């Protein structure tokens, strides 16, 4: 049996992107992915993985373009161009396009551009907050100028994973605060995401980033491992649990390299 890269099999024997060959009750069965088969805990080769992602992006392309056209038609036919529902629908279709684009780019080196971090985060938070319960309040504060080299589609994915986890951790009602800060001396940007959710035990501060670790019934345990990979490998930054208290909440910190150079001033 070949070795495959990237462990994608969950602890409870469910596998992302895999179809079980044997019947679903037979937990000893084999998983298959396009381009090969994989057994629990094995790794997937980059070539097969890339081929699968490219194919996924390609397959998504047609329905997405047609959804785009349907939205345009709805706007013109019913004169709904100002309707917020249509605008949100349009945002969702654009989002699908971004997700498909991510799939097509996996495996290739992402290009980083200089961005005002606050603006990137703000845009995503505005998209995200109308899609979750209105009992969750979002607060965005901090430095509105600091810049960093960011690949926006990938970075959005980071924010999305952390925000989704924060929403999942909140039982019904709560607050998610996002703060953008600059550490001028270290030439770093901090993005602190704090929720008023269930909290994480101290012993699990690192474990939560391991692929397959989940405490959710329907979780894959992939969100934070992906987040870590995107921040560390593509942005040369870091991400960790800064603070957490059971039943009080959690703060995740993302650290990016600031694009501002610190020049100490001297007094004569
Ligand atoms: N803000 C948070 N508050 C409390 N626990 C959290 C928080 N964020 C993550 N966790 C814990 O870390 C685990 C792993 O998170 P991760 O995002 O990797 O996977 P998941 O959310 O379980 O599944 P998915 O792959 O769908 O994201 C969660 O199941 C949860 O136990
Ligand atoms: Mg998650």
d(CA 132, CA 219): 17
CA neighbor of 18 nearest in space, from 64, 4, 144, 105: 4
> Rounded mean pLDDT of 243-253?
98
What is the domain partition of the chain in residue ranges? Answer: 1-44, 60-105, 113-257
CATH class entry, domain 113-257: alpha beta
- pLDDT of 250 reads 98
Beta-carbon count within 10 A of 158 CB: 29
> 243 near 165, Cβ under 8 Å?
no
- How far CA 247 is from CA of 39, 140, 204, 219, 223, in Å, comes to 38, 22, 15, 20, 22
| pLDDT score recorded for residue 267 | 61
Contact status, residue 19 vs residue 26, Cβ threshold 8 Å = no
Query: In this structure, which ligand is nearest to the CA of 196?
Result: 1
b/e code 102-131 from CB counts within 10 Å (16+ = b): bbbbbeeebebeebbbbebbeebbebbbee
Cα–ligand 2 centroid distance for 141 (angstroms)? 23
Q: Alpha-carbon distance 240 to 246, whole Å?
A: 17
- pLDDT bin (cut points 50, 70, 90) of residue 39 is very low
CB within 6 Å of ligand 1 — which residues?
A: 161, 165-166, 169, 195, 197-200, 208, 213-216, 219-225, 250
pLDDT attached to residue 86: 85
User: How far from each other are the two terminal CA atoms of the chain, in whole angstroms?
Assistant: 71
The Cα 232–Cα 154 span in angstroms is 12
Query: What is the predicted pLDDT for the residue at 133?
Result: 95
Stronger pLDDT, 1 or 85, i.e. the higher one: 85
Please tell me the residue having the least CA distance from ligand 1 atom 9: 165
The lowest-confidence range among 27-31, 169-173, 217-221 is 27-31
Q: Per-residue pLDDT for 61 more than 80?
A: yes
Question: Which mutation among 199, 203, 224, 227 tests ligand 1's pocket best, with the greatest number of atoms within 8 A of CB?
Answer: 224
Centroid of ligand 1 to alpha carbon of 197 (angstroms): 12
Q: Which one is predicted more confidently, 228 or 6?
A: 228
Q: Whole-angstrom Cα distance, residue 204 to residue 230?
A: 21
8 Å CB contact between 123 and 180? no
Phi-psi region of 260 (alpha: psi -120 to 50; beta: other; left: phi over 0): beta
Report how far ligand 1's centroid is from the alpha carbon of 224 (Å). 7
- In tens, the pLDDT along 151-200 reads 998 999 999 999 999 999 999 999 999 999 998 888 899 999 999 999 99
pLDDT category of residue 12 using cuts at 50, 70 and 90: very low
State yes or no: pLDDT of 231 exceeds 50. Answer: yes
pLDDT band at residue 77 using 50, 70 and 90 as cut-offs: confident
Residue 100 has pLDDT above 80, yes or no: yes
Q: What is the mean pLDDT of residues 34-40?
A: 40
Task: Tell me the ligand closest to 221's alpha carbon.
Answer: 1
Lowest mean pLDDT among 76-85, 129-138, 209-218: 76-85
């Amino acid at each position: 049996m070949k070795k495959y890269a990237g462990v994608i099999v969950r602890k409870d024997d469910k596998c992302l992107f895999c179809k079980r060959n044997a019947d679903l009750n037979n937990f000893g069965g084999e998983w298959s992915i396009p381009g090969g088969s994989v057994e629990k805990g094995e790794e997937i080769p980059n070539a097969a993985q890339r081929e699968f992602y490219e194919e996924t992006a390609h397959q998504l392309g047609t329905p997405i373009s047609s959804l785009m056209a349907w939205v345009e038609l709805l706007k013109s036919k019913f004169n709904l161009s100002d309707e917020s529902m249509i605008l949100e629908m349009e945002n969702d279709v654009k989002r699908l396009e971004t997700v498909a684009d991510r799939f097509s780019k996996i495996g290739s080196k992402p290009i980083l551009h200089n961005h005002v971090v606050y603006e990137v985060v703000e845009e995503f938070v505005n998209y995200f907050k109308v899609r979750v319960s209105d009992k969750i309040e979002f607060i965005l504060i901090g430095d509105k100028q600091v810049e960093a080299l960011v690949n926006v589609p990938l970075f959005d994915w980071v924010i999305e994973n952390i925000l989704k986890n924060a929403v999942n951790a909140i039982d019904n009602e709560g607050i998610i605060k996002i703060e953008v800060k600059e550490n001028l001396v270290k030439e770093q940007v901090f993005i602190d995401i704090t929720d008023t959710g269930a909290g994480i035990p101290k012993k699990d501060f690192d474990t939560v980033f391991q692929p397959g670790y989940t405490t959710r019934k329907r979780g894959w345990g992939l969100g934070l491992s992906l987040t870590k990979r995107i921040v560390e490998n593509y942005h040369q930054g870091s991400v960790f649990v800064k603070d957490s208290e059971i039943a009080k909440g959690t703060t995740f910190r993302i650290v990016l390299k600031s694009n501002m150079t610190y020049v100490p001033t001297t007094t004569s």
